[in-house]
Structure 1
């Protein structure tokens, strides 16, 4: 659902840019509360995994394909604020390096694919978790439903933006019907990928999953007639580090394999937005991408003639760049939180 330059006019794109910048600023502050030394590395990995899986277009119907948006997956694994940042990092890397999604439309894409999907999915997820029986299966089921609904929600958001600032004269009813219809189907694929991934991580390390934090009940002791939280049991530090390291390495290797090898077998059909745009004439004023001459444009390495090798190398480079960029952002956020904690402790001790 990457919106290229030319679909939405300049004023609307500028407004969405302001909205996106404001949401990122809020998310940077919110991510300080969500990230700690254990989860900050996972956030960078989540961004890289989303990048990799977005390369795997799956067939939907009538010559159309879909791909993961990732907002629900990121929000459930690392938190909604961190999730917005994860997807935003992916969109920025795709726009600059791979000419995927317009640069003037970056605000539109962040608003649609990062903010809307994350907010909608996490609200649905938290609502379901509160009413479903407490357990890992409920986390997986809630992830499925939340992800499934997040995709048509993004389609509705795009339709609204097109209604406000579309550059072509197409009846909004036709756009809405086509966009929502195909993205309901794509949402099923999003739900399957999200549920499988969340379920796999919850099964191995539920303590690292933001959305599963309610599964960890605090032990309370009665001391002098009052209930107090018991100290957390001391886990073996080396074992814990090894487990987190194993999870991180496994996730990174999986991302590299998906982007570097499996992506070659992805569907070549246009995705939902591309198909609707071509069928309805939304793409009449599409401009050339500012990064069209990038060495990695269209997910291939320039001057590498073998299509399989070119696409594989581009995928591996993309995963590497995204995990570095994402990890840098999230470690910086984590260090800022640590500085705030030290300042608060110092102030409280005065």
Structure 2
């Protein structure tokens, strides 16, 4: 596809103007989040999704118990219920439809029957340098997918996350045999590896996943060389504009994975190839500067307590062997480990007068939410 000169300059200016007004990744995320929240109708007092969130902040971690509930599967919560409550909790924009494997959890504290967090497991990214370094090579794809799952959403409600190390609790539960068995049952898999990345890289030196050995281990930083996505309204308008000039055809296949990302990459390529040399320099400079908003992220892996997970993924062995830490990955044992850590955190915050007691949701008090905690 080749654009006319005026069209190419117009499209280039859309990207240049958008990214010239954003200086930090948290500013970029906040703009997208507020734009999405503006489309959600206000809730009635006492009947909103925020009323399902954990708010018993005088409760000690040692008195808590937890249960995971499926969402989007038969017998569980609906996708709509999951997405609506996640949307007002997470600082990131969420997508309703994701290709590949998908298992969603709502985690509740059972005494209060209130939500403490959300998890979504999915098919892992195709390529990852820290993973390949750990394995020693790029794995065979079908075998890798049979044995590996990724945590795309691990989001505690707030301030449960701040007060009680809620992010660590959710991460531990993702590494539990309960999670592995649910995934094996749903997909006929033989999961032995869980991986995830931190929300932020260079912006924040630590992560909620640090300090979780032997359950989860840091394996290095991901590579980062992509342009942040245009937010919803601007992207949709520009996508329609391109479709009109492409014989009413989309820029990528309808069933493509990461469709929005691939569509935007195609837009950038078309614009670049259609611009005169002087304008290309300005456009490329804007894109390079935009890429600085994305970051290398901290990459973590769990082997669910198996001593030969790596060898099984690579096809060097067929049968998984439980290692010395295998029993530590049972749900109740993970919660017990978390309770000790969370108790120290909770007691210290309470002693210092820093315990947070106001529920933090994007539909009620967005100005008080720290995107990077």
Query: What TM-score do the two structures reach when normalised by structure 2?
Result: 0.24
- Higher radius of gyration, 1 or 2: 2
Question: Which structure has greater strand proportion?
Answer: 2
Higher RCO, Cα 8 Å, sep 6+: 1
Query: What TM-score do the two structures reach when normalised by structure 1?
Result: 0.25
